[in-house]
């Protein structure tokens, strides 16, 4: 019976590691994501043109609310606002992490 749960134990350990890790914005909004969903090649390029400049002091960027940023995102990306863009990037990042667990 313990053999059935061996994979679950590995998954549980990996999920625990993921939950404690921090992901930088340039990793989350990697060049592949930016090229696929935006008019930019990188998050740095997006940031250079953005009306809002994220800093290391910003926390909870996923919940960040700014009308100018939402308008910019709607005009320059496939998303209607920052939250949707962030959620998509986070989802894709997690999918990649989970694929690595099950190699």
What would the pLDDT profile of 31-44 be if each residue is shown by its tens digit?
999 999 999 999 99
- What pLDDT is recorded for position 14? 57
Residue 85, H or E segment: helix 82-101
Q: What is the pLDDT of residues 31-88, one digit of tens each?
A: 999 999 999 999 999 999 999 887 766 656 666 778 999 999 999 999 999 999 999 9
pTM of the model: 0.74
Determine phi and psi for 88, rounding to 5 degrees.
-65, -45
- What pLDDT is recorded for position 9? 65
**CB-count burial class (<10 Å; 0-12, 13-18, 19+) for 43:** buried
- What pLDDT is recorded for position 93? 87
Contact by Cβ (8 Å): 99, 8: no
If one counts every other C-beta atom within 10 angstroms of the C-beta of residue 46, the result is: 21
Task: Return the bridge partners of 38, or none.
Answer: 77
Domain ranges of the chain: 24-101
| CA separation for the pair 103, 20 (Å, rounded) | 21
Please give the mean pLDDT across all residues of the chain.
80
Structure tokens belonging to residue 97: 């992490």
- What pLDDT is recorded for position 96? 83
Per-residue DSSP letter, 3:
G
Q: What is the pLDDT of residues 12-34, one digit of tens each?
A: 565 565 555 567 888 899 999 99
Residue 43: which of 93, 102, 99 has the closest Cα? 93
């Amino acid at each position: 019976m313990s053999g059935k749960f061996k994979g679950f134990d590995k998954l549980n350990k990996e999920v625990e590691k993921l939950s404690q890790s921090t992901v930088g914005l340039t990793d989350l909004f990697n060049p592949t994501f930016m090229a696929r969903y935006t008019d930019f090649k990188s998050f740095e390029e997006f940031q250079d043109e953005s009306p809002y400049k994220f800093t290391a002091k910003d926390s909870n960027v996923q919940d960040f609310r700014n009308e100018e940023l939402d308008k910019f995102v709607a005009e320059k990306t496939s998303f209607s606002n920052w939250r949707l863009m962030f959620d998509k990037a986070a989802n894709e990042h997690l999918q990649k992490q989970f694929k690595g667990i099950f190699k």
